């Protein structure tokens, strides 16, 4: 995802309150549109993007006046950008900076001294198994995009987000996995998963989406389910299901979708059967 995608988000999601961007290749051009149009934005997470620099931080300082929670993880910002954020965002209460190579702990000490009400967390090291994305504390997140994560072991730990409607995960199934825990996204309408490895290889049967009762569009592209015998999708309102270029799939792929209108399946081996 680049600037054009972020511009579309800014133009069409003006009431956005929470936004998480992971692995996007966006710059000031796209971020400015989001910051300008989404004046209700209170939580922003920018992760694993070397195109996010001090220039983009200044855009946030100038435009995101309602921002309260900001996480910057693995981006190209420096102490100058972090200091500007900490001192310039009037309503910011929580600032987390993780694994940004140009940032030192001194900037955290400086912000705590100058702005005592601001909770600042600066972590220069990444613990093995990090890259964790969790949604247990998100109550208003509507759109989440995670794109092309190659350098980190990423565990997508999806527990609950009552407002999330659109979820896109695009990674590398060699380094990304989704634990065998049920997703509780009751408002989710569109789900797109690309190059994702499901499960931990221990459970033979997976039924992750039975609480995503409102899902209408579901895309699985180049995903792996190595070690899984049965994979189930039970979605009463599912209209479109697309499964393409499969990597490793189970012996049984079970779909219960009484309102299904379009099924697109391509790239299976000749002996695979629905």
For the segment 181-197, what is each residue's pLDDT rounded down to a tens digit? 667 788 889 888 888 77
Q: Per-residue pLDDT for 121 more than 50?
A: yes
Ramachandran sector of residue 54 (left: φ over 0; alpha: ψ -120 to 50; beta: rest): alpha
Distance from C-alpha of 265 to C-alpha of 74, rounded to nearest angstrom: 37
Q: Would residue 245 count as lying in a domain?
A: no
Residue 238, domain member (yes or no):
no
Of residues 172 and 164, the one with the higher pLDDT is 164
Least confident residue range of 22-26, 145-149, 183-187: 145-149
Percent helix, strand, coil in the chain (nearest 5)? 20, 30, 50
Would 24 be classed as within a structural domain? yes
Report the share of the chain in percent with pLDDT over 70: 76
Tell me the per-residue pLDDT of 43-71, one tens digit each, with 9 for 90 and over.
Answer: 998 988 889 999 999 989 988 999 999 99
Mean pLDDT across the stretch 73-77?
A: 90
Structural domain including 47 reads 3-205+218-228
pTM of the shown model: 0.54
Note whether residue 133 is domain-resident. Answer: yes
Those residues whose C-beta lies under 8 Å from the C-beta of residue 269, and which sit 6 or more positions away, are none
In-domain check, residue 193: yes
Total domains in the fold of the chain: 1
Predicted pLDDT of residue 72: 92
Q: What is the CATH number of the domain that holds 52?
A: 3.80.10
Residue 83 included in any domain: yes
Task: Examine residue 250 and state whether it is found in any structural domain, yes or no.
Answer: no
- Residue 185 has a pLDDT of 81
Residue 109 resides in a domain: yes
């Amino acid at each position: 995802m680049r600037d054009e995608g972020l511009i579309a988000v800014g133009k069409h999601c003006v009431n956005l309150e929470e936004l998480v961007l992971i692995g996007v290749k966006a710059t000031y051009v796209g971020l400015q549109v989001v910051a300008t149009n989404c004046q209700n934005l209170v939580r922003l997470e920018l992760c694993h993007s070397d195109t996010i620099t001090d220039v983009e931080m200044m855009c946030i300082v100038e435009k995101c006046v309602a921002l309260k929670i900001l996480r910057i993880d693995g981006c190209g910002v420096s102490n100058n950008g972090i200091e500007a954020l900490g001192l310039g965002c009037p309503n910011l209460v929580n600032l987390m900076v993780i694994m940004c190579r140009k940032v030192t702990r001194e900037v955290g000490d400086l912000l705590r001294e100058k702005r005592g009400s601001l909770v600042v967390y600066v972590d220069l090291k990444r613990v093995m198994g990090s890259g964790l994305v969790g949604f247990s504390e998100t109550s208003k997140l509507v759109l989440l995009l995670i794109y092309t994560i190659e350098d980190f072991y990423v565990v997508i730990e999806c527990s609950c987000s009552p407002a999330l409607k659109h979820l896109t995960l695009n990674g590398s199934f060699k380094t990304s996995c989704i634990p065998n825990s049920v997703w509780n996204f009751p408002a989710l309408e569109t789900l797109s998963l690309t190059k994702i490895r499901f499960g931990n290889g221990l459970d033979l049967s997976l039924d992750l989406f039975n609480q995503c009762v409102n899902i209408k569009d579901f895309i699985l592209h180049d995903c792996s389910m190595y070690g899984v015998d049965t994979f189930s999708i039970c979605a009463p309102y599912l209209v479109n299901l697309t499964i393409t270029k499969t990597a490793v799939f189970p012996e049984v792929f079970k779909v219960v979708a009484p309102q299904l209108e379009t099924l697109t399946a391509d790239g299976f081996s000749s002996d695979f059967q629905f």
